[in-house]
Amino acid sequence: MSFIYGRCTPRDGGEPSCAPPVEIQVSPLCSHLDVVAASPIWKRRQIRGAPVGTIDSAPVLFTIGAQVKVYRGEGTDPGVPLRVLRALRSINRVPPLVGSSGRIPAPPRAVLLGARPCRS
């Protein structure tokens, strides 16, 4: 599932296109977890109690049931993706409910390390 925020103006050229200012991608925690968790940065970087990895130059927050990846578009401040993750909140009433502040439930460390099977 993707959420796109902001507008962009396509540039002139053969096929005009543009990247929106912010795109948030939410996928199941187990979806390609071995690839996404391969970079060890998540072991030392957290936001609101949840580990944050990196893939495709985008931060990925690991929650108990999902991966939340934030891409920034052209001309966007490089700090935007981490600020978006810090303000993350639930968009529905499915537990666990996450407010715009407070802890985000993290998956077991053993799952991220591959020492325990991931179950979504």
The 3-state secondary structure of the chain reads CEEEECCCCCCCCCCCCCCCCEEEEEEECCCCHHHHCCCHHHHCCEECCEEEEEECCEEEEECCCEEEEEEECCCCCCCHHHHHHHCCCCCCCCCCCCCCCCCCCCCCHHHHHCCCCCCC
* pTM of the predicted protein model: 0.88
Instruction: Give per-residue pLDDT as tens, 17-55.
Output: 788 899 999 999 999 999 999 999 999 999 999 999 999
pLDDT in tens, 56-70: 899 999 999 999 999
Residue 11 has pLDDT above 80, yes or no: no
